[in-house]
Amino acid sequence: MTRLDLFADLVCPWCYLAEVRLDRVLREAGRDASNTVRYWQPFLLDPTIPEDGEPWETFVVRKFGSAARAEAMFRAVEDAGREEGIAFDFSRMTVSPNTRKAHRLVLAADGRGFDLARRFFRAHFEQHANLSDDATLAQIAAEESVDASTVLNGDAYDADVDVALEAAAHLGITGVPLVVFDRRFAVSGAQPDDVFQTALDKALRSADSL
């Protein structure tokens, strides 16, 4: 059984791209739930964002200094997304959300976690939904047959998010995406398919040698 850990944030466009590419590599390699287990490892790119989110314009200026400075980066992301069928459009963003609750829902979804994460990515980047809003989170979770009530009405999986954040800090992870293969090999960034394939092959060879 191959283990994959994806450290990611749901407001990270490169994480969205990495998840899409990694998923394709796994499918083409015939890796499924019978031979590969994937773990979602929450990461907060900006833990200072208020629980109900921050206006997008305010966030962009605070993060990049100005909208003009951010524009080139956004164009690069949009171009990369277009190649993967992802319709990034940063001009329509209204909120930079706090993703802690969304991460908790992904963990609560268990075996459906990566499906829900993909849905959250799409909602944020392509539909410009507010992932800080409880009603929005509940609706999206319901679309993936996940009951959001235990998360949104309590503290379920909150400690699990902290464990993942502590693990990332212990490993010296300061940016995402980062994929760890069988706790041995790490790939940082939204790499091309062949880079993920090479890491997967290396992990499989290493497992066979044990």
- CATH number of the domain that 112 lies in? 3.40.30.10
45 Cβ partners below 8 Å, 6+ apart? 9, 11, 12, 175, 176
How many other β-carbons are positioned within 10 Å of the β-carbon of residue 76? 12
Say how many domains are in the chain: 1
Quick one: pLDDT at residue 193?
Answer: 97
> Domain range for residue 78?
2-208
Q: What is the pLDDT of residues 11-67, one digit of tens each?
A: 999 999 999 999 999 999 999 889 999 999 999 999 999 999 999 999 999 999 999
Distance of CA 23 to the CA centre of its chain: 12
Quick one: pLDDT at residue 209?
Answer: 56
Quick one: pLDDT at residue 135?
Answer: 97
Quick one: pLDDT at residue 33?
Answer: 87
What count of Cα atoms within 13 Å lies in the side-chain half-sphere of residue 162? Answer: 5
The pTM for the full model equals: 0.95
For 45, counting Cβ atoms within 10 Å of its Cβ (0-12 exposed, 13-18 middle, 19+ buried), the class is middle
Which residues of the chain are under the pLDDT cut of 70?
Answer: 207-210
The candidate with the shortest Cα–Cα distance to 18, out of 117, 164, 150, 128, is: 117
Quick one: pLDDT at residue 205?
Answer: 87
